[in-house]
Amino acid sequence: MLTLSKQILVAIDGSPQSDKAAEEAVRLARISGSRLKSKIYAILVLPSMRPSSFTDFFPSPPATERPDWEEKRKRIFYVVEKAAEEAQIPLESVVVYGDAAEEIMAFADREEIDVIVIGSSGAGRVKRALTGSVSTKVALHCRHSVYIVR
């Protein structure tokens, strides 16, 4: 088996599918062996902030600036942080705002990611046809390898 270090990006959103993707990303990183460690980037993409209008007397702060953010962050990143720590794999957690598929692909380009690991949406055929899924958009439009975990 080839033992090259890899830059692995895993999309996290706190769902059971993203937890499975996180575990699979750690497994892929572990395969590279102890000599050449891979690095995992765990990315959480939050919806874009809508611009404030003059009718907003008290605009709500971004999710990352709310008092309960740290507790939410810990819950969302728990599986990937625990699995990476147990496997002694370097992990960097990233939170960005915007369109999930676009932000994942842009991050992959910036950091020269080798493989993107993403959970299947679990959305039904009709919902996926109407709104699309992040995993489908990334798989169809990204120039990097994409591993969809079901």
Q: 23 pLDDT exceeds 80? A: yes
Distance of alpha carbon 150 from alpha carbon 63, whole angstroms: 28
Q: 1 pLDDT exceeds 60? A: no
**Phi, psi for 96 (deg, rounded to 5):** -135, 165
Q: Where are the beta strands (DSSP E) in 21-114?
A: 39-46, 91-97
Q: At what angle do helices 134-141 and 100-110 cross, to 10 degrees?
A: 40
Per residue in 123-137, pLDDT tens?
A: 555 555 545 689 989
Mean pLDDT value across residues 27-43: 83
The structure's pTM equals 0.84
Per residue in 67-77, pLDDT tens?
A: 888 999 999 99
CATH 3.40.50.620 assigned to domain 1-46+88-150? The reply is yes
Higher pLDDT, 48 or 108: 108
Distance of alpha carbon 108 from alpha carbon 104, whole angstroms: 6
